[in-house]
Amino acid sequence: MTFNELWHRLTPLYDEGEAKAIVRTVLEVRFGLSLTDIYTGKVTQLSADESLFLNEMMTTLQKGVPVQYVLRRADFGGREFRVRPGVLIPRPETYELCEWITHDATAPTGADGAAGTAVLDIGTGSGCIAITLALNVPGAKVTAWDISSAALAVARENAEALGAKVRLRRQDALQPPDDKARWDIIVSNPPYICRQEAQTMARNVLEHEPREALFVPDGDPLRFYRAISGYAVHALRPGGSLYFEINPLYAEAVEDMLREHGFTQTETRTDSFGKRRMTKATAK
């Protein structure tokens, strides 16, 4: 098999650029081939066993399975996170949210800048947000919730592999505890895609990533934001911050809801793709 033959197998699902990038990633991560190796034809020099393994991986990719699930890993902010089916694949725009929080939490004059900052990540999935903040915010004491035991198991593996101290807890975001002034920062990337939007989504996402981590009812797009905000308004310490990754379609609705809950200084920012993707609100 040549590189050209490999990436052409994926063109029914992906455009040329993405198909090539996926195959290059597989060849680099699983077979140790550099870009130079790939373009000088060393793919054809793989052993019989390696070629068989590569063909099996390509067959899985042709079914639309995301390359991150095939490789059982995903890059997030320069760190390698383990992922597997049933756990949402970390996205680069989510790392932009982490950068915003890290900047605020480590700013000398920031409200969240003191050592020992108590952070809660609601709906942690692979643990990418919680672990990133635990590693990037000095002295942060991070707790992460998820309703999925499978997700918590992956998050625990990632925390151990990356040397992050994160307290993991199985907790339904829609039925939070009655906490008072417990956290300095609460962050969440909850399900926010309405089912009516599914027709516009890529097949590899729609058919293989966990629906419970993606979708909300068409008639209640703010379901998780409302529950988390209702919890956060009491659970945050005075001046504490609530951060959300959001659906750009409901950016204004999220800000209105936050103000109705009594939050102040709401701010929404765009991601690197120019979409309104993250919102911050401050507790009184």
Residue 201 has a pLDDT of 53
How much is the pLDDT for 61? 96
Separation of alpha carbons 103 and 134, rounded Å: 13
Report the amino acid identity of residue 274. G
For the segment 30-48, the average pLDDT, to the nearest whole number, is: 96
Same structural domain for residues 87 and 48? no
Phi, psi (deg, nearest 5) at residue 198: -60, -35
- Min mean pLDDT across 36-40, 94-98, 195-199 is at 195-199
More confidently predicted of 174 and 191: 174
d(CA 253, CA 202) in angstroms, rounded, equals 26
C-alpha span between 223 and 128 (Å, rounded) = 23
CB 83 within 8 A of CB 90: yes
pLDDT at 107: 77
Give residue 284's pLDDT. Answer: 87
Q: Which of 9, 7, 29 is nearest to 18 (CA)?
A: 7
Query: DSSP per residue over the chain, as a string?
Result: --HHHHHHTTTTTS-HHHHHHHHHHHHHHHH---HHHHHTTGGGGS-HHHHHHHHHHHHHHHTT--HHHHHT-EEETTEEE---TTSPPP-HHHHHHHHHHHHHHH-TT-TT-STT-EEEEES-TTSHHHHHHHHHSTT-EEEEEES-HHHHHHHHHHHHHHT--EEEEE--TTS-----S-EEEEEE----EEGGGGGGS-HHHHHHS-GGGTEE-TT-TTHHHHHHHHHHHHHEEEEEEEEEE--GGGHHHHHHHHHHTT-EEEEEEE-TTS-EEEEEEE--
pLDDT at 204: 58
CATH number for position 102:
3.40.50.150
Q: What is the pLDDT of residues 209-267, one digit of tens each?
A: 565 655 666 677 898 999 999 999 999 999 999 999 999 989 999 999 999 999 989 99
End-to-end CA distance of the chain: 62
Q: Is residue 142 within 8 Å of 184, Cβ to Cβ?
A: no
pLDDT category at 119 given cuts 50, 70, 90 is very high
Same domain, 199 and 109: yes
Q: What is the Cα–Cα distance from 218 to 127, expressed in whole angstroms? A: 27
Q: Mean pLDDT of all residues in the chain?
A: 90
Residue 52 and residue 139 share a domain: no
How many residues would you count in the chain? Answer: 284
- 123 or 110, higher pLDDT: 123
Q: Quote the domain boundaries for residue 29.
A: 3-63
Residues 244 and 124 in one domain: yes
Distance of alpha carbon 74 from alpha carbon 51, whole angstroms: 23
Report the number of distinct structural domains present in the chain. Answer: 2
Q: Among the three residues 39, 63, 87, which one is the final residue of a domain in this structure?
A: 63
Does a structural domain hold residue 117?
Answer: yes
Percent of the chain past pLDDT 70, that is, above it, reads: 88
128-147: pLDDT as tens digits = 999 999 999 999 999 999 99
Residues 88, 225 share a domain: yes
- Range 255-261, long-range pairs (CB < 8 A, 24+ positions): 255/279, 255/281, 257/222, 257/225, 257/226, 257/229, 258/229, 261/229, 261/230, 261/233
pLDDT value for 112: 46
* Angstrom distance (rounded) from CA 189 to CA 195: 17
Residue 235 in any domain: the answer is: yes
Q: What is the mean pLDDT of residues 180-202?
A: 77
15-24, 80-89, 186-195: which is most confident: 15-24
**69 belongs to a structural domain:** no
The residues, ordered by sequence, that sit 6+ positions from 267 with a Cβ below 8 Å of its Cβ are 279, 280, 281
pLDDT in tens, 200-225: 556 555 555 565 655 666 677 898 99
pLDDT class of 110 with cuts at 50, 70, 90: very low
pLDDT at 154 over 70: yes
Within this chain, do residues 97 and 15 fall inside the same structural domain, yes or no? no
